[in-house]
Structure 1
Amino acid sequence: MSHKFFQEGRWQEAIEQYQRILTSQTGTPEIFWRLSQCYRHLKLLEQVFSTLQEGIRVCPTDGRLHFTLIIELQRNGRTQEAIACANQASQILPNDYTFKILKHLIVPTIYDSPEDISVYRQRYKIGLQRLIHETSLESEAEKKDALAGIGRLTNFYLSYQAENDVDLQRQYGNLVHQIMAANYPGWVEPRVMPPLQQNNKIRIGYVSAYLHCYSGTLWLTGWLRHHDKQNFEIYCYYTGNTPDLITRQFQDYSDVLHHIPHNLEATCKQIIADQLHILVFPEIGMDALTLQIAALRLAPVQCTAWGHPVTSGLPTVDYFLSSELMEPENAQNHYSETLIRLPNIGVSYPKPYIPPRTKTRADYQLPEDAVLYLCCQAPFKYLPQYDYIFPEIARRVPQARFLFLRGELLQPRLERAFSAVGLKHKDYCLFLTIPERLDYLMINLLSDVYLDTLDWSGGNTSLEAVACHLPIVTCPGEFMRGRHSDSFLKMIGVTDTIVEDEADYIEIAVKLGLDLAWRREIEEQMKARHDNLFEDKACVAGLEAFYQQVVQERLTLQREMAH
């Protein structure tokens, strides 16, 4: 009955059943783990931690309990506790490579101060050297254990430090590649470019765990929808397992879609069997299985794109497919891959459906008379050195309210920043959880100004804000990941809210808050021009010209070498 409640998402009833079991018998790892997940769904964090800790006390060698505890602590901003638990797990399970990785490479999801960023970056650098030094791939057991370890996590949070990660990514990418090569030596050799068949079509493969409604791959539907069917054959490999209506689109826009959930070897065999000319990873760095596959050589040419806008560091990925408008002049220095600057924003983003405004602020307990600044990014995009911007705006716009949609973890920092200028953050900062997409878009329509994050800009969120004609304050950063909104506003020619520095950011945010006529003018410009941003076919033409060029170059080179 307890497992039935769990599977049906009846969390409170499942908790009662599991607790009854635990009072009458010794708990199993499965019961402790499921009970912790019930508490997680109910957002009862302390119970999550205490349940996992009790499970580890009873079942000290269960790797899943240790792993879940470490990840939950890290995710919830308790970094030092996560590191301590990783050290403990590594001592109890010394042969489990997962805990070697975690022990050395944990970084915070959210930083308490700018100094913390430097401290943890240095810790990561030293830890990575130690991990590389400690990695042995001599025995079959060591090979398999390292393979399992890199298959459980990625180093996703490293790139949220606003630094050039290319050297660290190269080191980690080489380590992952060595582990994959040790386990699959036949799948790392260079591949010959297959000749074009009678239909003369170039075969392009796209592999991702996210070929469903997900921000990191939604843009990919445009590349496929507008592709040249005369000259290209599209193969998709969906390695996740939450198919939905967007998965159906991927299927409709492809010649073949293989759904092979969570199976490394079966996916690789299928990719090799399809004899692709080019294999593309829409993102590398968010999904562990994708990282493993990308560290192999399954097609003669392999590319990644900006679903996760950071270099992969992998020696097996040849090109990074980016955007002409997003990349600064020196951008090649940020990538281990050869950088390809596709026209405009580089993707053909489907125009979002924006519903009519059917709700009011009162429906979300939002003040009607406030100047509502939407702050909708994930908490790890907000760096502590910019916290002061919010109270500076509030000092000059008394009606300002900053609406954070995922920002509870930021509250201690915001409290400090507002206190520093004699204000209370609770008078200005609102925190909402928006479960439904319709409500999320409604919040965009009810807001006055969108405050973009500095150093890591909004992607999908900014595109949807443009579609809602919501003025965006953005400051382009050093790296492409901090220049998304900048490129979107340039595409539609509404550039008055693009700023040069933090002082200018505050000025423009204040002006938008106080000058209603100017704000309306910006909204009208966005409304008139926003269609320029969506369904762009120029970037698809640029992408396919690149595909054709690289295949022809390889085929010509092979012919010359054969003679």
Structure 2
Amino acid sequence: MNTTTNSPLSIGFQLHQSGQLAQAEQHYQRALALNPHSADALHLLGLLEHQLGNHDSAVQHLLQATTIEPENPLFHGSLALVYRELGQLENAAAGYRAVLRICPDDDESHYNLGVVLSKLGRLDEAVTSFQAAINCRPDFAPAHYNLGVVLEQLGRTGEAVSALNRSLQLEPDFAAYNNLGTILKNNKEYTQAITCYRRALALKPNAATTHFNLGAVYLEQEKFGDAAAAFWQAVQLDPNRPLWRLKLNQLCPSVMGSAAEIDGWRAQFEKMLDSSRPGSINLAEWLPDVIPSGVFAPFQLPYHGKNDRPLKEKYAALFAVPEAGVTPRAPRTTPYRVAFLVTRNHEGIFLSLMRGLVNHFPDAEFDVSVVCAAGGVTRLQSLIKNERVNFVPLPNDLGRAVKIIAAAQFDLIYYWEVGSDAMNYFLPFFRLAPVQVTSWGLSITTGIPQMDYFISSELLETEDADAHYSEQLVRFKTLPTWFYRPPLPHPLKPRGQFGLPETAHIYLCVQNLLKFHPDFDPLLAQILRRDPQGVLVLLESTVPQITWALRERFKNTLPDVLRRIRFVPQMDFLDYINLIAVSDVMLDTIHYGGGNTAHEALALGTPIVTLPSEFLRGRLTLGRFKKIGVLDTVAAGPAEYVDIAVRLGTDVNWRTQIRAKIRAANAVLYRDTEAVYEFKQFFRHAIEQ
């Protein structure tokens, strides 16, 4: 700005700097009266108008300044700043690009462009901008920090950790420690996550969010005392966070000591729900809190062996629903727009049970998309090869995810799971398609009024099963999956490779340890007591505290056979299949049995003993057996379950016969084209209805 010290522009600038805005505006107007084309006066007046809240006038003055001096980077930068603060992000990005056209090495503009692009959800472009800022200024700590945040959203976790660590080396910072802690927590690096959160709290001891995040780490480790203390501290520091209080009130151990303990917890949980006002949590108001809080209906409910519909409906009723996300559409015509939605860290089981279906689904009648976390796209694309399938990446932000899905205007959304994380639990509340469907990804009703249908099978459900669902129950004739037969390692590793005796009778139960209901313990005890050569083999949990809790319960419920229970470490898929192949018997857990594992075991001919319950989750293995027409190892009650298991373990001839029978019949479980046909038929009907 070139002007004399006594000019109106100079005086206005001095007044502006001292906060005397009204007087400054008068002098800027005088300067423009003297020279209507003074770019400097227009620029400063535009900034002042923005400060005063006169945003339209501010933009007009700044645009005039850039028109008069199009090569002045300061003017373009100021215009971009105003656009950014007004939420006009596309215009802000254009402004920062104008600066960079003139000054390509301006690190601040690269950085600011990255911030804007990340808010727009254009994460790959944001990465490029932050990296450009770092190239211009290697010690630019905020650029390293924001690069780490965006890389984490893209699922590039290792690079994100490196970027955040570099940011902290340059400038110890509360936000960087807090975000690095969250990434490490999501990566199950709990010790390092706790260290980061504690360092963040050393910088800001009253940071309620960090206390809450620390509690979430303890909760994932099943350290309930520590988790409750941290959540309580967070609530005390910020009592107006209803999702946090809800999280504190629904802490539930994954392994309980007895059925009575389960009943007591459920009674207390229901009491809490009954004392809460329906609609007391407005989702629109607390949208930014939903994903960070990790709140959703307790994941442990279906493992309790009870009818969960009343609790799930009461839980869903806590939330006030915003206006529907579906925009009015013209009459539906083909191709129908269908989405299969799977959220972060759930891609593996989705691919096991659904990739064949998705690969064979698109045709002239259906335009198919897979809606997934941004970081999951590469993994899903590696096995979903049909080029007609579109992929819609979602940020780890519920509000932005809702907008992206609503803008796609799907006719029907199939939610792979509803209730395994906060994202997939709350998305259906927003009614993001005219038809919303779920199925056996989580084999339990959602309780959510906006969920229309639950797809199951005649092979899985009892006659009166409709009462178990808040959704309309749809019974396919076949199982709702296209499953690929798993490969069998060759040659097989012997039992000794897994630390198991070659001559023992191996009773294998590879289910998640959450499925070990206390009612199952007496059956396991009887099997081992009746077969002195029997060894029960279980897979350790990925959470050591869960394995410890089950071991402790076993000390009380089956102490005399405890030495013949072996916990083996988690293993890769081929070793897991190998272990199933060299075992004598597979034991299905009661109340919540195996689904994916049943498909895998039956492919090998390994006999499974199952005791069906009244609910879908306790009939998953039965459905497979019905499909292949082999019911020899389906028990009618606990005593028969033990009889069948012991006979399979001790009678080699009968076990060999059952293996042969399963192998002769199991082909119908794999690559089931009938499932594709039934899905298409139902989707068509539901959309057109």
Is TM > 0.5 for Structure 1 vs Structure 2?
A: yes
Matched, 1:114 2:252: no
* 1:448-505 Cα distance to aligned partner (Å, 9 max, x none): 1111111111111121111122110111112101111111112112211111111111
Letter in 1 for 2:594: G
2:329 corresponds to 1:195: no
- Aligned equivalents of 2:454, 2:561: Cα separation in 1: 45
Q: How does 1:213-292 map to 2 (within 5 A)?
A: 213-227=347-361, 229-250=363-384, 252=386, 254-292=388-426
Aligned-residue offset at 1:415: 5.4
Partner of 1:402: 536
C-alpha displacement at 1:518, in angstroms? 0.8
> Pairwise mapping of residues 381-392 of structure 1 onto structure 2 (< 5 A)?
381-392=515-526
Deviations 1:36-90 (A, max 9, x none): 9879989887x97798678757744344543344334444444355334433321
Structure 1 distance, partners of 2:372, 2:255, is 31
Match among 412, 427, 431 for residue 567 of structure 2: 431
Give the Cα–Cα distance (whole angstroms) in 2 for the partners of residues 487 and 155 of structure 1: 26
Kept in 2: contact 1:98–1:152 (CA 8 A): yes
1:529 paired with 2:673, answer no
Aligned partner letter, 1:291 = Y
Corresponding residue number in structure 2 for 1:378 = 512
Match of 1:561 in 2: none
Alignment of 1:503-522 (within 5 A): 503-522=639-658
* Kept in 1: contact 2:347–2:376 (CA 8 A): no
Which residue identity does 1:287 align to in structure 2?
A: D
Match of 1:327 among 434, 438, 461: 461
Does structure 2 conserve the Cα–Cα contact (< 8 Å) formed by 1:375 and 1:402? yes
In the TM superposition, what are the counterparts of 1:465-504 in structure 2 within 5 Å? 465-504=601-640
**Normalising by structure 1, what TM-score?**
0.83
- CA distances 1:233-259 after superposition (whole Å, capped 9, x unpaired): 212212251344543333526432222
Mapped to 2, the partners of 1:37 and 1:242 lie a distance apart of: 16
Following TM superposition, by how much is the alpha carbon of 1:294 offset from its aligned partner in structure 2, in angstroms? 1.2
- Higher mean alpha-carbon deviation, 504-513 vs 205-214, is at 205-214
Check whether the contact 1:384–1:413 (CA below 8 A) recurs between aligned residues. Answer: no
User: Greater CA deviation, 129-138 or 30-39?
Assistant: 30-39
Distance 2:406 2:215 in 1: 36
C-alpha displacement of 1:417: 4.3
Q: Distance in 1 between matches of 2:555 and 2:370?
A: 49
More moved, 75-84 vs 498-507: 75-84
Asked if structure 1 preserves the Cα contact closer than 8 Å seen for 2:377 and 2:391, the reply is: no
How far did residue 32 of structure 1 move?
8.0
For 2:248, the equivalent position in structure 1 comes to: 103
Tell me the residue number matched to 1:359: 493
Of 270, 275, 280 in structure 2, the residue corresponding to residue 135 of structure 1 is 280
Residue in structure 2 matching 1:165, options 298, 308, 314: 308
Inter-partner Cα distance in structure 2 for 1:392 and 1:320: 37
Residue 556 of structure 1 corresponds to which residue in structure 2?
none
- Structure 1 contact 405–431 (Cα < 8 Å) conserved: yes
SS of equivalent residue, structure 1 residue 241: helix
Q: Which of these residues, 299, 307, 315, is aligned with residue 449 of structure 2?
A: 315
Secondary structure of the 1:395 match is helix
- Amino acid aligned to 1:156: F
Letter aligned with residue 163 of structure 1: K
Instruction: For residues 115-169 of structure 1, give each alpha carbon's deviation from its aligned partner in whole angstroms, at most 9, with x where no partner exists.
Output: 111111112112224454693549x8x5446545666555322222111111221
Greater fraction helix? 2
Structure 1: distance between partners of 2:292 and 2:344: 21
Q: 1:293 to 1:368 in 2, by over 3 A?
A: same
Q: In 1, Cα distance between the equivalents of 2:447 and 2:602? A: 33
Q: Pick from 201, 207, 215: which aligns with 1:70?
A: 215
| Structure 1 pair 136–363 and aligned structure 2 pair: CA distance change class (3 A) | closer
Helix, strand or coil at the partner of 1:259:
strand
Shift of 1:264: 3.5
Larger relative contact order (CA 8 Å, sep ≥ 6): 1
In the alignment, which of 415, 434, 439 is matched to residue 305 of structure 1? 439
CA root-mean-square deviation: 3.6
CA contact (8 A) 2:316 2:448 kept: yes
Cα distance in structure 2, aligned partners of 1:278 and 1:188: 11
Question: 1:475·1:499 contact (CA, 8 Å) conserved in 2?
Answer: yes
Structure 1 residues without counterparts, runs of 5 or longer: 554-563
Q: Secondary structure at the match of 1:373?
A: strand
Q: What is the aligned partner in structure 2 of residue 549 from structure 1? A: 685
Identity of aligned residues (%): 27
Q: Is the 8 A contact 2:448 2:470 kept in 1?
A: yes
Alpha-carbon contact 2:342-2:373 (below 8 Å) kept: yes
CA contact (8 A) 1:206 1:282 kept: yes
Distance 1:59 1:468, change over 3 A: farther
C-alpha contact (below 8 Å) 1:87/1:103 kept by paired residues: yes
1:393 counterpart residue number: 527
Q: 1:211 to 1:36 in 2, by over 3 A?
A: closer
**2:510 aligned with 1:369, yes or no?**
no
1: CA distance, partners of 2:157 / 2:335:
46
- 2:560 alignment partner AA: L
Task: Encode CA deviations 1:502-536: one digit per residue, 9 max, x unaligned.
Answer: 11111111111111111111111122221111111
Q: Which residue number in structure 1 is paired with residue 586 of structure 2? A: 450
Q: 1:290 to 1:35 in 2, by over 3 A?
A: closer
Q: 1:166 to 1:374 in 2, by over 3 A?
A: same
Query: Structure 1, residues 374-412: CA drift from partner, whole Å, max 9, x if none?
Result: 121111111112212222111111121111112563555
Q: 1:192 to 1:328 in 2, by over 3 A?
A: farther
- Looking at structure 1, the residues matched to 227 and 338 of structure 2 have their Cα atoms a distance apart, in angstroms, of 41
Could you tell me how far apart the structure 1 residues matched to 2:287 and 2:403 are? 19
Structure 2 gaps of 5+ residues are: 1-144, 149-155
Structure 2 partner of 1:175? 318
Give the aligned partner of residue 209 of structure 1.
343
Structure-1 separation of matches of 2:625 and 2:537: 22
Q: Tell whether the 8 Å contact from 1:219 to 1:348 is kept in structure 2 after alignment.
A: yes
Change in 2 beyond 3 A, CA 1:245/1:298: closer
Please say if residues 583 and 606 of structure 2, whose CA atoms lie closer than 8 Å, have aligned partners that are also in contact. yes
Distance, in Å, in 1 between the alignment partners of 2:602 and 2:215 is 38
> Structure 1 residue 285: deviation in Å?
0.7
Residue 404 of structure 1 aligns to a residue whose secondary structure is: strand
Which amino acid in the other structure matches residue 89 of structure 1? A
Give the direction of change, closer, same or farther, for the CA distance of 1:502–1:254 in structure 2 (3 Å limit): farther
Provide the C-alpha distance between the structure 1 equivalents of 2:399 and 2:179, rounded to a whole number of angstroms. 28
Structure 2 counterpart SS, 1:339 = strand
